[in-house]
Amino acid sequence: MREEVKAWLKFAEDDLKLAQLAHKEGIYHLTCFHAQNSEGEA
């Protein structure tokens, strides 16, 4: 896998983690933002 692809997958994983943390804390607008970013980067 190309390094560029690996980097984008890492960005997607990080955004998904942030979405999960935001959801846990009840910050729903950031949950949506980071979940959508994660989908777009993957």
Q: 3 lies in a domain?
A: no
The band of 42, judged by pLDDT with boundaries at 50, 70 and 90, is: confident
> Could you tell me the pTM of the whole model?
0.85
CA gap 22, 6 in Å, rounded = 24
Per-residue pLDDT tens digits for 19-33: 999 999 999 999 999
What's the domain range around 20?
12-41
Query: Which residues make Cβ contacts (< 8 Å) with residue 11, sequence separation at least 6?
Result: 37, 41
Indicate the number of domains in the chain: 1
Q: 4 lies in a domain?
A: no
